[in-house]
Amino acid sequence: MGKVFLWIGFVALAAYLVKSQYLSSKTFEPFIQGCMSGEGATEERCECLSRYVHKHFSDREVQAIMDQRIEGAFATKVQDVISTGSRACQ
């Protein structure tokens, strides 16, 4: 019986480590901080917008947006998502 609990603990620890290191967003908090530097921003609106943007873009795309490395069709998509998200989070 002790081995069963040991294995359950090991699997739970492994799942936690994978989730915390590989499945969590590395751009969520920096996006919120950048949003908060804007005029008239509130924490609730910035968190809402961050969730909305992260729902539509990958971490790599969000990093490109924050670095202002957007052009072409991607820039149009970013503008549409940001404006729709801004309206949804008011």
At 12-47, the pLDDT tens digits run 887 776 666 655 678 888 999 989 998 888 999 999
Q: Which of 12-16, 69-73, 83-87 has the lowest mean pLDDT?
A: 12-16
Collect all residues with Cβ–Cβ distance below 8 Å to 45 and sequence separation of at least 6.
35, 89, 90
Which helix or strand (DSSP H or E) is residue 6 part of?
Answer: helix 2-18
Residue 89 carries which DSSP code? T
Q: Which of 37-41, 52-56, 70-74 has the lowest mean pLDDT?
A: 37-41
Positive/negative CA dihedral, 31, 62, 60, 67: negative
For residues 62 and 53, is the Cβ–Cβ distance under 8 A? Answer: yes
The pLDDT, as a whole number, for residue 23 is 54
pTM tops 0.75, yes or no: no
The pLDDT, as a whole number, for residue 76 is 94
